[in-house]
Structure 1
Amino acid sequence: MAAGRSGQTAARRRGTRAGGNSGSHRRGELLGIAAELFATRGYAETTVRDIADEAGILSGSLYHHFSSKEEMLDEILRDFLGPLLERFIAIEKEGENPEQILDELIRHSFAAIDASPVAVALYQNESTMLNRQSGFEYVAEIGKKIEKIWLQVLKAGQKSGVFRSDVDVNLSYRFIRDAIWSTVRWYRPRGKYKHEAVAVQFLTVLHGGLHTT
């Protein structure tokens, strides 16, 4: 993100915090509404007026909190991707062995889907657009850092003999990644299966397969 826009955003955030908790709460509500619309209608198809209408305010009132829908998208993505990367880094650093680390990476991924399904859906749906969007280069950069962590764990597992050496780690990563994050399309946080149970089922299939022998 350009330094000028970052400085302006930081200044607006400081101003909102200075205004008290009510301003921060309202800002959070508006971000939630925007994220839901971006994820369901599409970012390009959603206008500032759409967000304001859904929030029950005039479009001009929205600009008291955000300068544009681009700023809203930026904050939604940073709030999701930043902590996700930080947690993955901590899991790799604190893990005892490749298998335990991989399992924990998977468990946290399902926990992230449970905690932020709209942000996950938005990221999944708009990934192609984000790769072309000026000011959002950090999204791809974070994605590469996350991929590096997973690949390092898979390679370490192969080297130690815990994981099979006759499979390609790059393909394995993509199989695992896509299988996990695509569950946002059907997983419901208030549904029958909690994210912990879904993770256990996933790990059972990953480690043992479907064959009984």
Structure 2
Amino acid sequence: MPTNKPAAQPAAKKKPQVTPSPERRRELLDTAAEVFAAQGYNATTVRKIADAAGMLAGSLYYHFDSKESMLDEILSAFLTELWDGYDAVLAAGLGPRETIEALVTESFREIDRHRAAVAIYQKESRTLSAQPRFHYLSDSQVKFEKAWLGTLERGVAAKVFRADLDIRLTYRFVRDTVWVAASWYRPGGQHSPDEIARQYLSMVLDGIALRPT
């Protein structure tokens, strides 16, 4: 005997998956970087980042799976760009003084482009580098130190810099006085990154350069 079968229901249409635009993702990372820099990584929550971005916390998870992922992307982007610039300088075959000048200038340019990321790196890198996901921070620090110490040693050997310099102390002074600028520098201010670098170099290099006798 024939049976009455219920009419087949039309298959539910799947909602098209919308990929967040790269521009929006960049905006959210910039916002997260400012919050991390101001409040510290541990004190920052996804809700705080979402509030700063003017969105619900749940909506932020549509773009990133965790605040750790956001921080990872912020720091890795900064260091990738930094090393693109540094590697170009180190491969250019410049003399020791010119290499220092170029490294300092590139550093101030990176502060201009990634001020918040620099501030985060300064505050958090020692703690974060103990985590496997952020071990590249330690690797970058070793590479950074090698580049600067090697250039200073080359300058002393070439009699461009004074022979009585404590190389490691000089490196620490130059490193700290350059990167601390992230605490006060604001993009779009009175002086460009290159102008600040020139002023800085005129003070530092006259102190470490070998004086004519």
Aligned to 2:144: 146
- Which runs of structure 2 are paired with 1:169-184 in the superposition (5 Å)? 169-184=167-182
TM-score by length of 2: 0.84
1:128 shift after superposition: 2.9
Aligned to 2:59: 61
Aligned to 2:193: 195
Based on CA coordinates, which of the two structures has the bigger radius of gyration?
A: 2
Deviates more, 1:121-130 or 1:172-181: 121-130
Distance 1:82 1:122 in 2: 15
Aligned to 1:102: 100
Deviations 1:99-152 (A, max 9, x none): 111110011111111111111111112123223334101011111111111111
1:106–1:199 CA contact under 8 A, matched in 2 = yes
Deviations 1:30-55 (A, max 9, x none): 11111010000111111011111222
TM-score by length of 1: 0.84
- For structure 2, the residue ranges without an aligned partner over 5 or more in a row are 1-16, 208-213
Aligned to 2:77: 79
Distance 1:181 1:156 in 2: 23
Distance 1:70 1:143 in 2: 20
1:19 shift after superposition: 5.3
Aligned to 2:134: 136
Residue 172 of structure 1 aligns to which amino acid in structure 2? T
1:171–1:25 CA distance, 2 compared to 1 (3 A): same
Distance 2:33 2:185 in 1: 18
Percent of counterpart pairs with the same letter? 46
1:196 shift after superposition: 1.5
Residue 147 of structure 1 aligns to which amino acid in structure 2? E
1:110–1:198 CA contact under 8 A, matched in 2 = yes
Aligned to 2:45: 47
- For structure 1, the residue ranges without an aligned partner over 5 or more in a row are 1-17
Aligned to 2:123: 125
Structure 1 or 2: more helix by fraction: 1
Distance 2:88 2:110 in 1: 15
1:88–1:146 CA contact under 8 A, matched in 2 = no
Say yes or no: does 1:28 pair with 2:26: yes
Distance 1:153 1:19 in 2: 49
1:89–1:149 CA contact under 8 A, matched in 2 = no
User: 3-state DSSP class of the match of 2:21?
Assistant: helix
